[in-house]
Structure 1
Amino acid sequence: MLLATVNRILLGIIGVVLLAAGVAVLTPLWPLGGRHEPLLSAANRERYWHAEGWWWWAVLAGLGVCVVLALWWLLAQLRRSRLPAVLVDTGDGAFAVLRGRALEEAVAAEAGALDGVARCSVVLRGRQGRQGRRGRRTGPKLRVELELEPHAVPADALAELAGPVLSHARRSAGLPELPAEARLRITSHRARRVT
């Protein structure tokens, strides 16, 4: 969710900057000598190259930083935050594949039916392991976001989530250890205006 927000903000800023630059170049009010002139004339390039030797290095460093940031952003997009599937041991030596979305939907439906829960969203992620290589995914982890109604008791909702809901998910998926992180939020009800 945070990554989606950062993406929207970055794309919005980049879009506004590119739009402003495009409008400035296409209008006759271009401040650097007119619409049909280059951004840097040959005289300006010579002056900056010889008189201000640091300027080109600063431009190259700025472009290098932009390339590194763009590559970092691209790699962040390619990294999967959700697990697509979980292997379930059937007990007779065979394994079944449980789709991650199916497990998420089942836990969300069961947790959403709890008393005092207005809405629930669940994401199945890969847990980062301490052993082995850094960043290696060792097992699934649930991230549960509960939106509670104003009358709900957070401790009761958390106890019901940690008890029956998660134990049912562990049994169903064949995962004796299925850690979960819960985030609770209270809904805000706005009073209706009576006319």
Structure 2
Amino acid sequence: MLRTVNRVLLGLLGLGLFALGGAVLLGGLDLPRRWDFGMPGWWPFRGPDDVVLGTEGRTRWREEGWWWPTVIAVLAVLLVLLLWWLLAQRRRHLGGVLVDSGDGAAARLDGGTLEDVIEEEAQALDGVSGAHVRLTGRSSAPAARVRLLLEPHANPARTLGRLSRETLANARDSAGLDRLPSKVRLKEVRHHARRVG
């Protein structure tokens, strides 16, 4: 879910910045005059001598006592939200897991590969329609977040037991970890009734 939200937000932000940059470039290169087309009447910069924010726009609210505190508060909230978003991205995914190779040196196992293996094994369990795994924590002490999509006939207790005893135990043992704490979320697949004619 978070991955989808991130992609949508980044896509919208990128599209908006691309459109704004293209519009500024049109005015800066004086393309409306060269190619003989008009810009909308509300557009502030139509040529290379125009500015993005004119004198009237910069001085309109200068005399109002609430203007600058509001601008600063909005920008501060925006900065905090962007920093929170950045930090949320950083701690959501573990890039690698340190594995004891047995000869005194540590090897690094790619976190995405381990996630894929756990997902494949979890999806092979009876009654599991889909699985999503995300490794979090530190490379020396990883933790797993597992989401399972269960078919209506699945027994949640049995599926959870097999996931713990087989799938997660295999991942823990193959990576040479002492422990692999896990949070598992179970969700049932909802099938919609269809009319048969």
Q: TM-score, normalised by structure 2?
A: 0.68
Give the drift of 1:40. 7.0
5+ residue gaps, structure 2, are 24-38, 43-49
Pair 1:49-2:62 in alignment: yes
Q: What is the aligned counterpart of 1:172 among 158, 171, 174?
A: 174
Q: Secondary structure at the match of 1:156?
A: helix
C-alpha change, 1:88 and 1:183, in structure 2 (3 Å) is same
Give per-residue Cα distances to partners, 1:43-72, cap 9 Å, x unaligned: 993x7434x233233333333433443344
| Partner SS, residue 92 of structure 2 | coil
Cross-structure match for 1:60: 72
CA deviation vs aligned residue, 1:78-99 (integer Å, no higher than 9, x gap)? x252222212213332333222
Cα RMSD after superposing both structures: 3.6
Q: Distance in 1 between matches of 2:13 and 2:112?
A: 33
Secondary structure of 2:187 counterpart:
strand
Name the residue aligned to 1:181.
183
Distance 1:74 1:159, change over 3 A: closer
Q: Which consecutive unaligned segments of at least 5 residues does structure 1 have?
A: 31-35, 128-136
Alignment length, in residue pairs?
A: 175
* Distance verdict in 2 for CA 1:55–1:85, change over 3 Å: closer
CA distance in 2, matches of 1:13, 1:3: 15
Identity %: 47
Contact 2:97-2:140 at 8 Å conserved across structures: no
TM-score, structure 1 normalization = 0.69
| Whole-Å separation in 1 of the counterparts to 2:74 and 2:104 | 57
SS in 1 for 2:62: helix
Match of residue 45 from structure 2: none
